[in-house]
Amino acid sequence: MIFSPSQQFVFFAIPKTGTHAIREVFRPHLGTEDWEQQLRYGQQLSPLPEIAAINHGHVAYRQLARVIPEETLAQYFTFAFVRHPFDRFVSVCAFLARTDPSYQDDPTAWMKRALTRAPFRKRVLVATQSDLLTCEHSGSIKLDFVGRYESLQSDCDHICQTLSLPAVPLSRKNSSKHRQHHEVLDDELRETLTEMYADDFETFSYDP
């Protein structure tokens, strides 16, 4: 997450949607009153104790709205990026299993085993994207702009233009090397993930 009073924006970082590349675009423009929360490259925690206690950079809209009134958030340009649920899930698994040889041996079997474990399913990396962006009171998404990983550069350029900031080419940060989802998801997994991420497919108009 990035919270920027100086530039009047809030960036909600959804796991495995190019968030660290996006951070690099906006970080040079942050002022002394701005803050960022992320723990992947070094450690940056929010000055707000309630947010710092979350202890990762994927702060949900509802979590921030409990600390900063929605009336205040409405004055900021709020944005996030989402990704096709199948593609994102495979990327998450490849990232989590990056030191586990059994994933490379049989990624399909690894993902099926992972989904049987409650701690895995509760991880923020596995959470639905809509859950991370939904307003607690209205049940809707109130962000000003939701970009797509599939059009990351052009959507990031649009945000820069909206904020009157220079657009720059995105770098590749924290990317996971993995096969395409159609190569590793069998019918059983696709059915499971379609049900698991039903809200994402509907909310963001992705086709399972």
What's the number of domains the chain is made of?
A: 1
pTM for this predicted structure: 0.92
Domain extent for 95: 2-203
Q: Looking at residues 28-43, what average pLDDT do you find?
A: 91
Q: What is the 3-state secondary structure (H, E, C) of 172-189?
A: CCCCCCCCCHHHHCCHHH
What pLDDT does residue 173 have? 56
In single-letter form, the type of residue at position 157 comes to: D
Band of the pLDDT at 159, cuts 50, 70, 90? very high
For helices 85-96 and 107-115, the axis angle rounded to 10 degrees is 90
Size of the chain in residues: 208
What pLDDT does residue 178 have? 64
What pLDDT does residue 179 have? 66
Percent of the chain with pLDDT over 70: 97
Band of the pLDDT at 175, cuts 50, 70, 90? low
The answer as to whether 35 is a domain residue is: yes
The answer as to whether 208 is a domain residue is: no
The answer as to whether 75 is a domain residue is: yes
The answer as to whether 87 is a domain residue is: yes
User: Measured between alpha carbons, how far is 11 from 61 in angstroms, rounded to an integer?
Assistant: 10
Q: Looking at residues 43-68, what average pLDDT do you find?
A: 95
The answer as to whether 80 is a domain residue is: yes
SS3 4: strand
Q: Examine the pLDDT at 183 and tell me if it is beyond 90.
A: no
User: Measured between alpha carbons, how far is 74 from 148 in angstroms, rounded to an integer?
Assistant: 22
The answer as to whether 155 is a domain residue is: yes
Please state, as a whole number, how many other Cβ atoms lie within 10 Å of the Cβ of residue 68: 15
94-134 pLDDT, tens digit per residue, is: 999 999 999 989 999 999 999 999 999 999 999 999 999 99
What pLDDT does residue 154 have? 98
Q: Examine the pLDDT at 75 and tell me if it is beyond 70.
A: yes
